[in-house]
Chains A and B, each alone.
Chain A
């Protein structure tokens, strides 16, 4: 215990306003924070947290660490000594069976050849190296030989892993399917195209991924049936979201960013708008515009949704699911919720804006912090990594009396805010209250107190002295005070449609009516919430169709599209809801400007494909190794 306490104190003193700095929080009766391992900034932070067979794994400084989840005791480190940067990244790691894990290996990081790219197979219990699988040595050169570069983004879904090699010009790629239990090659095939950059998923007899075919201005999702040599491709929507890759669902269908496809790309229809969906165990989760949702595998309908405020960045979704609990990072908080019902179990503050990076010396921007934040869970504990350390947090109910010593309790936040107000430190008071909405979701009984304090705060000098902080607080957490700030929201939404999110968060009929009146996507959502549930058929047919009917592309939107200086600046999120017809209209407008040459063509093809509803099929050669070759 002493050790942990010392560690904790180090953490608290090294960053003046580090999370949970209140004295004694660590040792409070609740013991919310079980243990912490301090780190020294974003470059030193733990990456890729994973819980595997009662061991918490994390990569830090090129080494793999294993911790005991209960106590934080370090079980082992690979390599045992030195800061050997043999392990790269956090994206290639998996329990592959027999109590071993595989992690990526790269010994040459230059952009010349990287001949020693491969996997390390490590014993999960002892950290001993069981095997070293160098792609080139174990599986041989790509066939036919070309100047190859091995790709690192190779997740493993036992028993298969898909490894890619590509040539120097990056115009074709060879994909090798490997059995990670025997470390034998299953087959290999070549794709003529560039940027086979998305994660490759090998599952069953299919290998899924994304690439850009030579001569085409857009990316395609592909699916290769390695048994019969069929290559199924589907032109992906030509929006900025096509880089996200494809994910394989447990029922062997392929999830794209904004749609769901069968293995053979028979088009099933558009799902709701979504961004960076994540799949854990049997659940598909997404951080959508309105909150964090679990989606129904059958039709993409949300099973539940935790309403959340404005998202900082996509990195906010460092999520994991285990033991009926899903954890995710959102804005300032690491959160845990019941995977079945969506009931929030815990929201613990992870950092405070303005906190300096001890390595860089400069203050963090939110997106920088979010980028290095990760969560993991073993069902009982929430693990989260920040630039300042790796922390373990107990997941337990927050029922009962307010506990100002528990950092997960809203009473803790309110007490700190009151203390700052008592000292006339209004900046600190506003900072403390940021995210109170999250905590109230966990413990709704604290809403009244939080609302009263917000009301008090609105009459203090704080809003006048720090209008920016106050405005941010109002828009993200002001919903806690019910309709108290409704006029403010209505005025804000009249100027900026995104402010309608605050109205949606308030959630009363009057607020929803106001939000619906603002138009746009949030207006459509509010309209839906106000008028009742949507028929399932409409969802399957594509929400865009309904939106197109109810909210046709306005002159304003077209005006924006016309003046779009780049592919990112035009319709933005609205593009999710465009029908094929609207895509064409937009494409024509963009074509007039000729400022992004590939875009109109891509949009037109997309519209055509959507109309047809199916992708393309062709035959490719699958080469299988001779037994004696390897």
Chain B
């Protein structure tokens, strides 16, 4: 089920098999199952701590952690294990032997000691068996019978205690809010202690919740059709943020909306940007990045887009603090984002082709592990949880499709030097392997080089040069190596931006790659050159360049000047320009000439006398040029095929 190799190459192709063999031969170690090797203390270092298979269900397997204990569930079976070793400690039946009609969908809400709180959804009516065996959505409603239970996994004979029973349609949050259960039913938000359903609050919502409540620290967020409800445990209080008729209007019916709450700041991703606002709806800032939001332990705002472009945003103004982009196999390669979360204080990103771990404060890549998995489920359903992630004790625990696995969060660079070659998240072995491979195989490896080489730049630069970036098919080098500060990457970028076809389809990618190039000044140099040569570069390339540089382009003239130049009062503009041109102060004359460059042609031509009278050589030269150009433009404008009497008609009357 779990497939990964040191080179990250698919194991199911014959060519890849050769490649893997070569890599392993070079590495001189370990069997394929052995993503393990002894560490300095003699204990084996395992990147993949455990990997447990199960049956594919409607949602992802349930997982929960508490210290070194972890629990997972596949349907109605709950298992307790040691997260550091993967050792199985106990197991229990969620329903206590009760027979459900069809499958049981379980979600572990919390693990406290050995007691697990779980939500189970299943059919009980024998006359209404599930249509396909699963417990899915029927008409957009979570069908079946929902029960919240607690089970003490340490007591094998203990029966599950039924805490709450809910009818179909209830949307229960995937985790507890402290010791409180949060769910919506109809247009009401219910919050109460998990073991005391009669206490707590029932709050009316004026909008229709479209997803399960999202627990964020000491609060909960309820995403509705046209608004967002922010529930704070303190108080408690419930505030509604209405999108309509506000700068948040783009979030109306945004079913894929990702939201988070950071203190008094609510952050939401619309289709094209991240918006921060107060619970009263006041927009504070927006940033041109969109994706899934994850909040770091210190309130860091991380946004990860579907193309695995991660960006850290400043909470104050939304400015990007760091950016990272992760490789694709090729320009159009599928590397869809599956999950993003802060686990054990680190930003964990799981996609189809990689698992990476970043420091949410600095964006530093800690782990970059290529994976190759056969996905069982190709669709993406926003109403259901298809991946669950959590972390504890330096282990990232992921429940996804048919497996629950634990991955060591130890940064690659902190793995003992002598064992780094055995770490599948370390690209060192790939780099070593490259030179011994055939040319066509080299490219496959080169484009997968991860970021976890001890002295990355030098080595990667050397191997990167084995790829010829001038071949069109190899333009994906930009994708793979945009994080390497090397002129060759810029050259490849430049090449990509000159190619109309590439830009047409992958312009967004190229723009993102540019944002992540380490030497931003050099990247901007390339972009400025592109903007300054409109005849040479396609519009789409210039658009990419302009998007990147736009904020840094300051208007040439101040607000007053702009009002004057683009106003309709030619006489006033001419008067000001005349006065400045006649001034003895060179700064005034320079300013006048700068304004003239933006002024209407008729004003420039009207000032011909003043312009010709300029004495200083460079000023008179500039003035003459301006005058000649304006005259030529006026002449060109006067040559038109439109005659006033035609008024839009051509041809004769009937």
Contacts and interface: CB of A to CB of B under 8 A. Distances in A.
B602 interface: yes
Given A343-B648, A361-B254, A467-B542, A461 B562 contact: no
A342 interface: yes
A467 B539 contact: yes
A13 B638 CA distance: 41
Interface stretch (B194-202, B431-439, B515-523, B550-558): B550-558
A16 B553 contact: no
Interface string B251-285: 11110000000000000000100000000000000
Interface string B625-654: 000000001001111111110111111111
Nearest to A450: B637
A39 B602 CA distance: 45
Interface string B546-566: 100010010110010011011
Interface string A423-443: 110000000000000001110
Given A361-B254, A423-B562, A16 B640 contact: no
Contact of A461 (B252, B542, B553): B553
Chain B interface size range: 35 or more
A507 B653 contact: no
A97 interface: no
Contacts of B568: 415, 418
A296 B654 contact: yes
A418 B569 CA distance: 12
B648 A342 contact: yes
A415 B249 CA distance: 27
B598 A456 contact: yes
Contacts of B115: none
A343 B647 contact: yes
Interface in A500-555: 505-508, 510-512
Interface residues of A, number: 68
A106 B199 CA distance: 52
A274 to B, nearest CB: 15
A508 B648 contact: no
Contacts of A156: none
A229 interface: no
B641 to A, nearest CB: 2
Contacts of A362: 250, 253-254, 271
A359 interface: yes
Given A460-B598, A463-B534, A467-B543, A482 B640 contact: yes
Interface in A460-510: 460-461, 463-468, 471, 479-484, 486, 491, 505-508, 510
B650 A342 contact: yes
B601 interface: yes
A272 to B, nearest CB: 12
A361 B540 contact: no
A471 B566 contact: no
Interface in A312-361: 337, 340-344, 356, 358-361
B245 interface: yes
Nearest to B249: A356
Contact of B647 (A444, A448, A507): A444
A266 interface: no
Contacts of B555: 424, 461
B651 A422 contact: no
Given A460-B598, A464-B553, A467-B534, A483 B640 contact: yes
B68 to A, nearest CB: 45
Nearest to A297: B654
Contact of A467 (B546, B602, B647): B546
B555 to A, nearest CB: 4
B549 to A, nearest CB: 8
A507 B642 contact: yes
A109 B243 CA distance: 35
A491 B562 CA distance: 31
Contacts of A79: none
A356 to B, nearest CB: 6
A196 interface: no
B650 A456 contact: no
Contacts, number: 171
Given A305-B651, A342-B650, A468-B543, A16 B249 contact: yes
B649 A440 contact: no
Contacts of B642: 440, 444, 447, 479-480, 507
Interface in A1-30: 13-14, 16
Contact of A459 (B249, B597, B644): B597
A459 B555 CA distance: 12
B653 A464 contact: no
Given A304-B653, A447-B640, A508-B639, A361 B251 contact: yes
B531 interface: yes
Nearest to A415: B568
Nearest to A358: B252
A320 B546 CA distance: 42
B470 to A, nearest CB: 22
A136 B543 CA distance: 59
Contacts of A564: none
Contacts of B606: none
A294 B654 CA distance: 10
A7 B649 CA distance: 37
A447 B535 CA distance: 27
A463 B598 CA distance: 13
A16 to B, nearest CB: 7
A112 B644 CA distance: 60
Contacts of B633: 455, 484
A302 interface: yes
A353 to B, nearest CB: 14
Interface in B300-333: none
Given A13-B245, A361-B243, A418-B566, 16 more contacts: A14-B245, A294-B654, A305-B649, A306-B648, A306-B649, A361-B251, A361-B253, A422-B562, A444-B642, A444-B647, A455-B633, A464-B546, A465-B546, A482-B636, A483-B639, A486-B636
30 contacts: A304-B649, A306-B648, A306-B650, A307-B648, A341-B649, A341-B653, A342-B650, A356-B252, A358-B249, A358-B252, A361-B250, A361-B252, A361-B254, A440-B642, A441-B648, A444-B647, A452-B600, A452-B601, A452-B637, A455-B600, A461-B553, A461-B556, A464-B542, A465-B550, A468-B542, A481-B636, A481-B637, A482-B637, A507-B640, A510-B639
